[in-house]
Amino acid sequence: MTGLDVVILAAGTGKRMCSALPKVLHKLAGKPLLLHVLDTARRLLPGQICIVYGHGGDSVRSVINDPGLIWVEQAQQLGTGHALKQALPALHADGATLVLFGDVPLVRSETLELLVREAHENCLVLLTMKLDNPSGYGRIVRDCKTGDIEAIVEDKDATSAQRGINEINTGIMLFPNKFLSSWLARLDNVNTQGEYYLTDIVAMAVKDGVRVMSASPLNSWEPSGVNNKLQLAELERIYQRNYANELMLQGVMLADPARIDIRGELSCGKDVEIDINCLFEGNVQLGDDVKIQGNCVIRNATIAAGTVVSAFTLIENATIGQKCRIGPYARIRPGTHLDQAVHIGNFVEIKNSQISAGSKVNHLSYIGDSQIGKDVNVGAGTITCNYDGAHKHRTIIEDDVFIGSDCQLIAPVRVAKGATIGAGSTITRDAPAEQLTLSRSRQTSIGSWKRPQKDHN
């Protein structure tokens, strides 16, 4: 066998999803079902990957958006055999073709490699498994004496005796390419569904003297497909539990492996601890001894060793240094970089800012588009006013600055090294180094002033 083609069938309407979104674009672990299958197929290093699309084809192609794929339209959904026939002109004359399904996201490349290892130019390989309740699946019919596979009979076409067979067809097959054109041309739709079954090729292969082999998945859940949102949720839990198990085997302490969600890639150093109900999206890296308390959301972030992220904190597209303390209820927005030993406290929002080692923003503050030096203390309620209604401006706060509570820094502005800003000040001009800067009016009481009252008429 000289090469491997992969065909992914992804043309179904997915009516049972009860959604305008094509079934293969529904997400598992934050990624479309079809992308899971594509990623697995790529690990096999095939010569080419062909996707047979139909329902919602334009949106499927725009979401996947990979110029290296071959796209083939199945305008009418007339069965799996008809779908593969649409892809036939794109396949090589020799080698083998592996048929996968865009709504079967959990099959692993290690399982598919079992099929590929069995394959040669005169062999058809099926992925089969045994179920206690095989209802609804095509049955594998074997010769009662030799055990050789003779045919696949769909559940709706099976006799009562055949329905007693518990070995089923998962749908995943590997075909020798040199026979495909002949086999697909001989398919008919004389069955209860009125469709062209790809499974009918098995009987043709036997008749043509082509040996039919089988392999079984390494895990029983791998061939599970998605037909409705209940099944999608079930596969989500399988995926998440498998990921959690892998993390714990690597040494990560999870407070409850059933209450963590990973929608991307999470890599962890030694002695990492993650509490309940945490969500990790995109690419997240946690260094040694990082502690993530409950109900945090972390997205595309790097958090260095020894940092503690307290409960209900959101971190997105940011880099966090060593031994920082963040939260609870903090929001770290894109473009933020915290150096080591920075403290970000409760109800503090940081956006597109760099904060140097040892600085603290501990209470009820907004820091946006700012550069903060070392050992700076930002008092409660302080705001950097970075937006003038049309443009963003930067605030520069140099080392060893102390900013009192409830201050507003109107950017662009610079607070020089060692300066102190008195509480309640509105700073509109640069503040000099090593001096106290205040901006307050004299306290005044107006005796004739009356508080506005609501009109109750």
Which pLDDT does position 122 carry in this prediction?
A: 82
Sign of the alpha-carbon dihedral angle for 285, 328, 316, 281 = positive
Residue ranges and CATH numbers for the domains of the chain are 4-215 (3.90.550.10), 252-437 (2.160.10.10)
Which pLDDT does position 1 carry in this prediction?
A: 46
Q: What is the 3-state secondary structure (H, E, C) of 361-406?
A: EEECCEEECEEECCCCEECCCCEEECECCCCECCEEECCCCEECCC
Indicate if 120 belongs to the active site. no
Q: Please, what are the averages of pLDDT over each run of 10 residues along the chain (457 residues)?
A: 87 90 95 97 96 89 91 92 95 94 97 86 91 91 91 90 93 94 93 90 93 93 95 97 98 98 98 98 98 98 98 98 98 98 98 98 97 98 94 96 97 97 95 94 80 75
Pairwise CA distance, residues 134 & 170, whole Å: 11
| Single pTM value for the model | 0.91
- Write down the catalytic residue from 55, 92, 363, 393: 363
Which pLDDT does position 55 carry in this prediction?
A: 79
Say if residues 189 and 77 touch (Cβ distance below 8 Å). Answer: no
Residue type, 159: T
Calculate the alpha carbon distances from 152 to 107, 206, 218, 439 in Å. 21, 11, 22, 84
Which pLDDT does position 2 carry in this prediction?
A: 61
Which pLDDT does position 12 carry in this prediction?
A: 85
Q: Residue 300, SS3?
A: coil
Q: For residue 429, which phi and psi values (nearest 5 degrees)?
A: -125, 160
